[in-house]
Amino acid sequence: MSEITSKLKSIRWQHVMFILLMTLMVAGADSCKSTGKLSKKERKAQIENAKKQLQPIISGTSTLSYEEQKRVVGDVMGMNLNDPVVSDMIIQAQQKLKALLSEQIQAKAQKVDVARAALYDLLLNKDNKTADELEKELNVIKRQNLNDTEIDDLIARLEKKIQNMRAEGGGSGSLTLKAQLESAFTTIANSSKTGNLTQANATIQKTLPLFSSDDAPVLIIISRQGSTVDYDKPTTIKRYLNFLVDMKASKNDIDAIMTDANGKIKELDLINK
């Protein structure tokens, strides 16, 4: 009887030890997962995935933005895979991103240069564009979102110029400076011709505020051959308007109008008809 009891105790003890051993194995596996240790299979999968993420960046075929590519490289580095191939690819990817950043900086600098030149041209308005035409070209530049201090300042100056043009033109922005001047010149000459000096002088007083000053230079082209241009003796806008009264005729066409940042005419070029 005692022998049977002893065997039963032995069997129970073996069963208990088996259960205890299995429990420790499961606990050990859970502990391994909780501490972040990977199996060989999992580590291999992560290495392959890292290579797939880095390769488009290295080859320059990635469709991600610069910041997104930079984040991908950072994430792979944070995995600490300690794989020589991945480590080499990380270095290549970093070099590629450095070159990409340099290209982006150069591209932005070129856009800023082009926008700056365009804005200065619009401020001068040598083509005598209307306020609406100026605003249309300005909006194209603004949509680039260049985030450059100088460009922002030029944009503000051009917006002020457009606002002033509309205020002077009754808000429509449709009457160009060229049209206003041509109308004024014709009115002054015709009024003087018919003896209506009151109207001629009134038109002169209405026209002068379009200029930066009464002494704004007026240059008259008497001949042009290619790049060679001959000018008559320089005069001022006030003298030229009074000259129209004396001549009782407008014999010159407008060739170019240069305006300042406030939309005022700072120089006027005329050419013989």
Any domain includes 131: no
Any domain includes 195: yes
Residue 219's pLDDT is: 94
DSSP-derived pairing of the beta strands 265-272 and 217-225: parallel
Binned at pLDDT 50, 70 and 90, residue 31 comes out as very low
Lowest mean pLDDT among 11-25, 108-122, 178-192: 11-25
Q: How far is CA 252 from each of CA 92, 165, 200, rounded to the nearest angstrom?
A: 67, 24, 18
Q: How far apart are CA 38 and CA 229, in angstroms?
A: 82
Quick count: other Cβ atoms within 10 Å of Cβ 173? 20
Structural domain tally of the chain?
1
Residue 17's pLDDT is: 55
Q: 198-243, pLDDT tens digit by residue?
A: 999 999 999 999 999 999 999 999 888 877 888 899 999 999 999 9
Asked if residue 4 has pLDDT above 50, the reply is no
Q: Which two three-digit tokens encode residue 125?
A: 């308005």
Query: What mean pLDDT is predicted for residues 108-133?
Result: 87
Any domain includes 250: yes
Residue 155's pLDDT is: 93
Residue 22's pLDDT is: 53
| Mean pLDDT estimate for the chain | 83
Q: How far apart are CA 136 and CA 265, in angstroms?
A: 21
Any domain includes 97: no
Any domain includes 143: no
Domain hosting residue 212, numbered range: 177-272
What is the secondary structure of 5-23 as a DSSP string? HHHHHHHHHHHHHHHHHHH
Q: Which two three-digit tokens encode residue 220?
A: 């008259």
Any domain includes 146: no
Asked if residue 146 has pLDDT above 70, the reply is yes
Q: Which two three-digit tokens encode residue 25?
A: 């194995």
Percentage of the chain exceeding pLDDT 90: 47
For the entire predicted model, the pTM comes to: 0.45
Enumerate the β-bridge partners of residue 223.
230
DSSP-derived pairing of the beta strands 235-236 and 217-225: antiparallel
Any domain includes 117: no
**Which distant-in-sequence residues (6+ apart) come within 8 Å of 14 by Cβ?**
none
Asked if residue 185 has pLDDT above 90, the reply is yes
Any domain includes 190: yes
